Amino acid sequence: MPQKTERQRDTDEILEMIGIMKVLEAFQELEDDEDDTEDAATEDDESIPISTMLTMGLVALHAQRYLNERRVIPKGNILSVLLEDWKTGFPDFFRSYLCVTPATFDALLHAIEDDPVFHNNSDTAEQLAVNSQLAVALYRFGHYGNGVSVRKVGLQLGLGFGTVVKSTRRVIAALCRDRVRKSAIRWPTNEEKEKAKEWVEEHSCPAWRDGWLMVDGTLVPLFARPGHFGNNWFDRKSNYSLNVQLITTPDLRIVDYGIGLPGSQHDATAWKMTRIPNEFVILLPNGEWIWADSAYPLQLWLMAPYKAPMKFEDWNEVFNYYVANVRVRSEHAVGYLKGRFCSLRGLRLRIDDQEHIGFATYWIIACMVVHNFAMVHERNIDMDADAFFLEGLQHVQAEAAQEAAADADARDIELAAAEERPLRDQGDAIRIFTYREY
């Protein structure tokens, strides 16, 4: 349920009392004796009905903006320490808080600082500096749990609670602009495609080099049950979540995505809503294909491992082993993204209407944009030793262990059902966001 402010709660109570008193006063008027004395009538005329007094109180309640006296709240000043001291003297601390190196932060700031959202041309409502707004958003992207609520972030960074929300929204809007988004998440060039094919050939065999892309689905849990078609968001892991489809290259770079469907949707269903299944002739020419896990339907251009019972045959087990050896990079890509931006492990956003769905979707897209941007500007960092990669890998392995414990036959039945049924019509409850232009 959406949370109500103190003013909203008081208003609801007063309106309910006004309705009750109006009814009681109407009955009282009917019961009044028409033969009352003149003095009694005069006395009644001078009294004010309770419903009228309640109405006057309601008007007074909404006549002022603040119910309580404004108080100065002591806050921390870690934001200034981050952007002044740690950025130059302790870059490792800076990266642990904002998830990017100081050089990447400056490059990202340069990419978005001219966005119109940061320039309102107002003399009375001056915005926070763009670098501070970017730091607020990155801090929220990189943390999750109740410690990253708007109130606690504001107290820790020394900002107003409304400033935290507005700064995050502005940065997300700037990151999701076509100019920034398409430069960070784009289809690989021929040279990049050839490098991906070389990696696949090196880790498998020459016959498999044309399978240079990987797809994997992941769930982004929500901290609370959505108020907007809540049951549709309940996933197989007993969480309320969003389904995210990531198409990546062996170097873990995201080249395409599909976001917006609820976590209850099977990966096979969510995959059909992305671009590649509809345009594979153009995107995967000359017999190229994409690797996937057993949750995806087998196609000429989509290779998945054998499922039960055929997977238990001798040579099929060998085949599945080497497929997993290549396809595991898609899981590494998911882990790297969630390792850098931990908010994707538990999104602390309410989904109570269509606008909230859109904001949660853009939050995830913004995280992917910054992640790809950082990978380009942090090539000097050894990925295998990167704390974000190692943390994300541990997270993915823990999830994989839970999946392995599930009944494989039940997953096969679920896949068959997902392939046969069309996407359920859920009205405005579902929106799919995919990268459609390269």
Q: What is the pLDDT of residues 136-151, one digit of tens each?
A: 999 999 999 887 889 9
Q: Is the pLDDT of residue 344 over 80?
A: yes
Q: For helices 91-98 and 130-141, give the axis angle rounded to 10 degrees.
A: 70
Helix, strand or coil for residue 351? coil
Residue 29 has a pLDDT of 81
What pLDDT digit, counting tens, does each position of 58-107 carry? 888 888 777 777 777 777 788 999 999 999 999 999 999 999 999 999 99
Q: For helices 354-377 and 161-175, give the axis angle rounded to 10 degrees.
A: 70
**207: which 2 tokens?**
């016959």
> Which is it for the CA torsion 81, 82, 87, 92, positive or negative?
positive
Distance of CA 55 to the CA centre of its chain: 43
Strand order in the sheet with 254-262: 302-303, 289-291, 211-221, 241-248, 254-262, 433-434
Helix, strand or coil for residue 47? coil
What pLDDT digit, counting tens, does each position of 203-235 carry? 989 999 999 999 999 999 998 898 878 888 999
Q: How far apart are CA 247 and CA 274, in angstroms?
A: 10
Q: Return the DSSP state at 434.
A: E
Q: Is the pLDDT of residue 298 over 50?
A: yes
Q: Is the pLDDT of residue 411 over 90?
A: no
Residue 420 has a pLDDT of 62
Q: Is the pLDDT of residue 306 over 90?
A: no
In the predicted model, what is the mean pLDDT of residues 161-187?
A: 95
Residue 27: phi, psi to the nearest 5?
A: -65, -40
Share of the chain above pLDDT 90, in %: 50
Query: For residue 240, what pLDDT band results from cuts at 50, 70 and 90?
Result: very high
Q: Is the pLDDT of residue 424 over 50?
A: no
Query: For residue 384, what pLDDT band results from cuts at 50, 70 and 90?
Result: confident
What pLDDT digit, counting tens, does each position of 347-369 carry? 999 888 889 999 999 999 999 99
Mean pLDDT (the chain, rounded): 86
List the one residue out of 304, 301, 309, 302 whose CA is nearest residue 293: 304
Q: How far apart are CA 167 and CA 313, in angstroms?
A: 56
Share of the chain above pLDDT 70, in %: 87
Query: For residue 7, what pLDDT band results from cuts at 50, 70 and 90?
Result: confident
Q: Is the pLDDT of residue 431 over 50?
A: no
Using CB atoms within 10 A of its CB, is residue 173 exposed (0-12), middle (13-18) or buried (19+)? middle
C-alpha distance from residue 414 to each of 282, 298, 395 (Å):
30, 15, 25
Report pTM.
0.80
Residue 430 has a pLDDT of 38
